[in-house]
Amino acid sequence: MKKLIERITEEAAKAFEKAGYDSSYARVTVSNRPDLCEYQCNGAMAAKKAYQKAPLLIAEDVAAAMDGSEVCEEVTAVKPGFINIKIAKPFLAEYLQQMYEDERLSSELSSEPKTIIVDYGGPNVAKPLHVGHLRSAIIGESLKRMGRFLGHRMIGDVHLGDWGLQMGLIITELKERKPELPYFDESFEGEYPSEAPFTISELEEIYPAASARSKEDEDYRERALAATHELQEGRRGYMALWNHIMTVSVNDLKENYKKLDVEFDLWKKESDAQPYIPEMIQRMKEEGFAYEDQGALVVDVKEETDSKEIPPCMLLKSDGASLYTTTDLATIVERMKLFQPDEILYVVDKRQELHFIQVFRCARKTGLVKPDTKLSFLGFGTMNGKDGKPFKTREGGVMRLENLIRDIDQEMYRKIVENKSVKDTDAEKTAEMVGLSAIKYGDLSNQASKDYVFDTERFTSFEGNTGPYILYTIVRIKSILARYVEEGGSLQGNVLMPAASDSEKALMLETARFNSVVDNAFEEKAPHKICSYIYELSNDFNRFYHETKILTEENSGQKASWILLLDLVRRVLEECTGLLGFSAPERM
């Protein structure tokens, strides 16, 4: 089903040709002056030079040629050469009727579906998720959902950090505390215990303790580095401990991501890329890309057009150890071998931009990816507190993600209980659903690259540009539809009539933009555009609702038409919230 703006553009193109002008000038946009018109075309001004004619005269010719169009009810030319367009109400009603009857709500699947890997987790094992992991998880999840809705093969990868110094630190600290464990006895040849020698709580205490000690005790740090090296060399006891760490940590991570309704198709780890490193390094050496510089192995990635210094991409340190750069490049090798993706998208902190510039350039220069494989970096800004600094606990520490979710859920529960609109037995589940909308919408409504202030009070409000406001609108529509059915009405077989008021037409026009918005939001990797859309759609619905006595309307055909429109708005809102990663309860 064509987008509404495409249908209007077609009409404008026919009119330009009919008036004797090239149809390429017939580009139509949503009006930036909705008080004057709904859509506009500025092509007459662009055509001025080619036809040596005043833009207003060209616009008048085109407006006259559009007279009688079934798509437009009013087309006017205004100085200095704008073409203002208002959509015909019968055409708009028919368009929305078709949209209602389409299970995809007028959105077409991509004609060129792609395989896209989204790298959007990035937590380190043995550490709890904290608020710094929030943005990657929910931005990446939304983009994955959008891509799937549009027909692309989206593969979400958590990409766990599991192979660095933190493993050596944990092993060293555990050896200090429990030296009797068989994992540290190199002569031990039996079966290691199937049960981990620590709980997740103990593991999460061990790492920061070890990390702090390593910064003050050089001997301890050297032992941790040695343990890391022995692990990476495959020491049997350390590998068994590593497996315990992975099992305990990943199970906990899955529980926390589940609370965010975030799912990954792949639980790949840095260690999965290790087997690819030796061959990759060897090939880069043989083909003349990699060379030694002060003992380290590097690849030059600077380009003549660079306005700032881009350092060489380091593959191995002088002691032969690999780095994040090495692992990321080897991960690209693995992804190309296993999935042959058309695009690999990294959703990470924008402060890592230089790292990914180096990685992407090195991957291209050395042929790790095909020439047409797209490597994309979506760098997100920082989630800050009201003081403008990175979000912290009241004590000044980094807040655990599960604690943030708990605090938001408790605030939503308090508000829902105060409203007395939900039974006590349902209030807790409802609070979790609405709380998730507060967190996700509060984050996603901001442009990803920008820092933003996480304001609990504002984000949990039922008024304004918030997730709870969007859900409240959906619940209000559900309530009206339920009452209509209770009173004997049916949601089947209704016919949408032309708009009976300005507020109804505004609601219909906004509803019709759904397919354009989703396509554009995915193309620009911008979930905030879907947030803006459903906020405007919710506002238009609530304006229409307050001006219209829907259920007491005596004309049954008009009432049925309004009910169809409300059901369509509900479906659009719920589809959009699903793409953002949250859903609405039945009551609030």
Report the chain's mean pLDDT, rounded to a whole number: 95
Range list of H helices, 424-526? 424-444, 456-459, 467-486, 502-511, 514-523
What's the pLDDT band for 459 if we cut at 50, 70, 90? very high
What's the pLDDT band for 304 if we cut at 50, 70, 90? very high
**Half-sphere exposure of residue 59: CA atoms within 13 angstroms, side-chain side:** 22
pLDDT (tens digit, 9 = 90+) per residue, 143-198? 999 999 999 999 999 999 998 889 999 999 999 999 999 999 999 999 999 999 99
pLDDT (tens digit, 9 = 90+) per residue, 63-75? 999 999 999 999 9
pLDDT given for residue 136 in this prediction: 97
Collect all residues with Cβ–Cβ distance below 8 Å to 328 and sequence separation of at least 6: 355, 356, 359
Task: Supply the pTM of this predicted model.
Answer: 0.94
* Average pLDDT rounded to a whole number, residues 533-558: 97
pLDDT (tens digit, 9 = 90+) per residue, 469-504? 999 999 999 999 999 999 999 999 999 999 999 999
What's the pLDDT band for 426 if we cut at 50, 70, 90? confident
* Average pLDDT rounded to a whole number, residues 221-226: 95
Angle (nearest 5°) at CA 254 between 239 and 334: 60
Q: What are the distances in angstroms from CA 586 to CA 474, 478, 537, 565?
A: 9, 7, 20, 19
pLDDT given for residue 164 in this prediction: 84
Angle (nearest 5°) at CA 411 between 260 and 442: 50
* Average pLDDT rounded to a whole number, residues 564-570: 98
Cα(506)–Cα(494) distance, integer angstroms? 20
What's the pLDDT band for 350 if we cut at 50, 70, 90? very high
* Average pLDDT rounded to a whole number, residues 252-272: 96
Residue ranges of domains in the chain, CATH in brackets: 4-87 (3.30.1360.70), 165-259 (no CATH)
pLDDT given for residue 392 in this prediction: 81
pLDDT given for residue 577 in this prediction: 98
* Average pLDDT rounded to a whole number, residues 380-404: 87
Kindly tell me if the per-residue pLDDT of 380 is higher than 90.
yes
pLDDT given for residue 163 in this prediction: 84
* Average pLDDT rounded to a whole number, residues 295-314: 96
**Gap between the terminal Cα atoms of the chain:** 35
pLDDT (tens digit, 9 = 90+) per residue, 19-41? 999 999 999 999 989 889 999 99
For the chain, give the percent of residues with pLDDT over 70: 100
pLDDT given for residue 232 in this prediction: 86
Of 381, 403, 534, which is closest to residue 453 (Cα–Cα)? 381
Q: Which residue has the tokens 């004997």?
A: 488
Both tokens of residue 228? 């890391």
Kindly tell me if the per-residue pLDDT of 425 is higher than 90.
no
342 by DSSP, 3-state: which?
Answer: coil
Cα(512)–Cα(516) distance, integer angstroms? 9
Cα(482)–Cα(493) distance, integer angstroms? 17
Kindly tell me if the per-residue pLDDT of 422 is higher than 80.
no
Of 208, 201, 197, which is closest to residue 174 (Cα–Cα)? 197
* Average pLDDT rounded to a whole number, residues 219-229: 95
What's the pLDDT band for 418 if we cut at 50, 70, 90? confident
